[in-house]
């Protein structure tokens, strides 16, 4: 059996989590315009068509280092839209940890942000590995998946 057959495809999935607050300030009038927090759960899936010399796509430990790094960048931050000027000014005045986005920090935008960061980091480790998707669970009943655009 050839484990590196051209028709083979391997998918690895790792989970991660972080705590963060956000608010939707850009053209949004619902409850989420208020600052509120979530225990975000994330899932990263990567795929490859062949295994490396150790018969792995990538070491799970390496994937966990990457997801832990990104989770740490988001953990216990207030995620804000970059034009939420008064709140940003307030946060900076009191030295609060914020992370700015060029759009409302919805689960969709957060998933895309994580996907793009992981995609560039994984590519430097191995250009043969693709990030398949990043899933972000905002609540126990709501989640968003951002997928590899080339696979749509």
Residues with a known catalytic role: 32, 76, 138
Residue 67 makes CB contacts below 8 A (sequence gap 6+) with: 14, 15, 16, 42, 44, 118
Taking the C-alpha atoms of residue 62 and residue 144, their distance in angstroms, rounded to an integer, is: 24
Work out the angle at residue 35's Cα, subtended by the Cα atoms of residues 74 and 43, and round it to the nearest 5 degrees: 35
Work out the angle at residue 81's Cα, subtended by the Cα atoms of residues 101 and 38, and round it to the nearest 5 degrees: 85
């Amino acid at each position: 059996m050839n484990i590196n057959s051209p028709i083979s495809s391997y998918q690895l999935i790792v989970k991660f989590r972080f705590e963060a607050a956000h608010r939707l300030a850009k053209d949004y009038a619902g409850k989420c315009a208020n600052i509120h927090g979530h225990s975000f759960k994330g899932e990263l899936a990567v795929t490859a068509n062949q295994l490396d010399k150790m018969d792995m796509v990538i070491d799970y430990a390496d994937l966990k280092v990457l997801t832990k790094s990104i989770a740490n960048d988001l953990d216990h931050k207030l995620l804000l839209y970059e034009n939420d000027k008064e709140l940003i000014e307030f946060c900076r005045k009191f030295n609060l940890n914020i992370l700015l986005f060029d759009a409302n920090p919805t689960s969709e935008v957060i998933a895309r942000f994580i996907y793009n960061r992981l995609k560039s980091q994984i590519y430097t480790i191995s250009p043969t590995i693709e990030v398949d998707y990043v899933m972000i669970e905002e609540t126990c009943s709501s989640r968003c998946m951002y997928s590899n655009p080339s696979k749509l």
